[in-house]
Structure 1
Amino acid sequence: MSVRYSAAIGRTVDIGPIGGEASMKPRKMRNWMMLALESNHVIGLRLAKLMRGGKGARREAELMVSEKIQAAAKAGASLMAGATSDEIVRQYRKRVAANAKRLARQKRRRRKRKSS
């Protein structure tokens, strides 16, 4: 499936397939969408932790950078080994889910300490 763009000058230009994959299956699209939603949640949790400041924020910033480097290296190695984009997204979703669980657990602990 190709997308056609009608320019303001009156010409129609064929700009090729959408996103490089013309026919994304619903399951694959769901994985991409869920990764975006879950990542957004983790970003919010991390921002809250970073805004509090202190040693915990510094550790979180260092962890965030090192995790991103490790995840990118793993994704690159997987691609070179022949992994599909869906497999790469699944790897990222596992990582994001682990971060969400860890950050949410820390948030609950903090609330319990305040109420004690």
Structure 2
Amino acid sequence: MSAAPAREARAERPGDAWIIALLFALAFAYDTVEAVANLQQLPLLYLGSGIEASVPWWLLIAGVAMPASLFLAALWIGRRMRLVPRAGVLLVALGVSAQLALFAEQLARQIAVSALGG
């Protein structure tokens, strides 16, 4: 029996990395749009509830800045990696961005409940 011939590694094209980065940029942009919507709508909800002094502005601003910061950090970390590990780093950063968005939403809810006296 003879051993199977080893597969040659495919050469990566520079355009492939740009395509992956663009696809992840769209996903991070969606997270940013959600954060901007929260920045616009949450103060109105707090105003309607009569707790406008308790609006967590720091949390809303951090929510807008976080997706872009994570995307840039992932690009910087993966800058010398091959395509698949670079995509993995971007995927982990996207997951962290989603988790932080959920955490911020929960924190804003807890701030509102405590401001309402509950």
TM-score (norm. length: structure 1): 0.45
TM-score (norm. length: structure 2): 0.45
Higher relative contact order (CA 8 A, sep 6+): 2
